[in-house]
Amino acid sequence: MSSERFVSAMLAAIVLLIVLVPIVLPGEAGRSLVSLILVWSIFAIGFDLVFGVAGMLSFGHAAMFGTGAYALALLTTRLGWGFLPALAAAGIVGAFVAVLFSFFALRVSGLFFALLTLALAQLLFVLAGSKLRDLTGGVDGLPGVPRPELWGIDFYDDGNYYYFILAVFVIALVVAAILRSSPYGHALRAVRSNDVRAEQIGFDIQRLRQSAFAISGFYAGVSGALLASLMFYVGPQMLHWSTSGDVVIMVLLGGMGTLFGPILGVAVFEVLREWLSQVTAHWYGVLGLVFIVATIFAPQGFAGLAALLLRRSGDQR
């Protein structure tokens, strides 16, 4: 097995172990935490398609995350839709918002793209909290978001809902893996490393970027909907730029551009947050120190760090 493959396999194993904690360990122990990790992982995997693979830093993905959540909440509570159609609609709404943003934002690149996506998402955040309050419940949000009611299973039991989320997660992961290794994925990477050359070869770079954006928007919308259902609640906080910032940090921390890196990043972030907040009241500061140290010493994120360590110890055989 080549070094690359080996590292990926190890990362996959680690992710698998985390993800299966609720199955392996009985009781309600890590269930809500792992469910949270799975939901955010879906978000992060989709986001990395834009960030790691296509090389665009978007600071506005909270918009798709949040609108997906609101879509599910409104369709189920106000229009009586079933959960699965509403979940699909949430993804489509997320994709739609992404395409809308891309019309504005893809005119510019780099830092300006990041700032523009941030501004667009913040605009939505401001509106959701104030002018659109009849739709969104304003600053206080909408409670009473339901769980799925399917096949006679009680998804209000967190254990059962975990399996539902796991299923969606697996589908999302497989689709992402296929996309990344397909010609489409290669084309995106080409656009990332040298867009001028890519265009000369004949790729329609705008179309490629827009589609990547749309797909990540779909992922974001679905994950937002799943989170709203997990929490029984949706609020404008999900549209805030700090939510966009969270997913960027998770992906950076875990290792952008890899398949399992973002998941690892989500896991490390959430576990650290849970664990540190119980250990010390100053956990926010400790988390900050972790970021600083990670940036200086682990530039490829934890995935890169793991890869480095694994390669080194492999060489010492």
Partner 1 sequence: MSVRTLAAAAVCAASLSGMTVHAAWAADPDAFKIAGVVAFSGAYGIIGEDMKRGVELAIEHRGGKVLGKPIQVTWEDDETKPQPAVQKATRLLAGGAHMIFGAVSSASTVALQSLADQRKVPLLVTISADDKITRPNGSRYTFRTSNTLGMEIRMAVEFTKAKGLKKIYAVVADYTVTREGWETYRKAVEQAGVTIVGVDYAPLGNRDYSVIIDKMAKTDADGIAVMVTGNDGVTFLKQSGQAGLGKTKVQFGPVLQDELLAAAVGPASLGVYSGVRYHFSHDNEANRKFVEAYRAKFNAWPSSFAGEAYDGMSWWLDTVESTGSWDKEKWVDAFAGSTRENSLEGKKVMRACDHQALQVGLWGEVVEGKEPLPPLTMKITNVFEPEALFPPC
Partner 2 sequence: MSTIVIGLSLGLLLFLLAAGLTLIFGMLGVINFAHGSIYMLGAFIAYQVVQITGSFWVGLLAAPIIAGVLGAAMEWLALKPVYSRDHVYQLLLTFGFILVIEEAVRIFWGLDYKQVPTPDLFSQPVQLFGSSIPSYRLFILGFGTFVSVVLFLALDRSRHGMVIRAASADPEMVQTLGIRVGRIRTGVFAFGCGLAALGGAVAAPLVPIELGMGMSIIIDCFIVVVVGGLGNIRGAVMAALLLGMTRAIGYTYAPDWVDFITYLVLIVTLMVRPEGLFSRKGRTA
Q: Is the Cβ of residue 68 or residue 185 nearer to partner 1 in the bound state?
A: 68
CB of 272 to partner 2, least distance (A): 12
Amino acid at 230: L
**What is the Cα–Cα distance from 229 to 223, expressed in whole angstroms?**
10
User: Are 219 and 97 within 8 A, CB to CB?
Assistant: no
Can you list the alpha helix ranges (DSSP code H) found in 31-182? 31-48, 61-77, 83-105, 110-129, 133-136, 158-181
Applying CB under 8 A, among 85, 144, 285, 288 the residue interacting with partner 1 is: 144
Q: Which is nearer to partner 1, 133 or 189 (CB)?
A: 133
Q: Residue 21 binds which entry of partner 1, partner 2, none, with Cβ cut-offs from 5 to 8 Å by kind? A: partner 1
Binding flags for partner 2, 149-188, as an x/- string (CB under 8 A): ----------------------------------------
In angstroms, rounded to a whole number, what is the distance separating the alpha carbons of residues 172 and 44? 11
Window of 42-50, 82-90, 135-143, 207-215 that interacts with partner 1 by CB under 8 A: 135-143
Contact in structure between 217 and 71 (CB atoms under 8 Å): no
- Maximum Cα–Cα distance for the chain, whole Å? 65
> Min. distance of Cβ 124 from partner 1 in angstroms?
15
Query: CB under 8 A: which stretch of 27-35, 67-75, 88-96, 108-116 binds partner 2?
Result: 108-116
DSSP string, 220-281: HHHHHHHHHHHHTEE-GGGGSHHHHHHHHHHHHHH-TTSSSHHHHHHHHHHHHHHHHHHH-T
- Give the burial class of 66: count Cβ atoms within 10 A of its Cβ; 0-12 exposed, 13-18 middle, 19 or more buried: buried
Query: Can you give the binding site for partner 1, defined by CB under 8 A?
Result: 1, 6, 10, 13-14, 17-18, 21, 24-25, 28-34, 36-37, 126, 129-130, 133, 137-141, 143-145, 156, 158, 227, 231-233, 235, 237-238, 267-268, 271, 274-275, 277-278, 281, 284, 306, 309-310, 313-314, 316-317
Interaction site with partner 2 (CB under 8 A): 57, 104, 107-108, 110-112, 115-116, 118-120, 122-123, 126-127, 130-131, 241, 245, 248-249, 252-253, 256, 282, 284-292, 294-296, 299
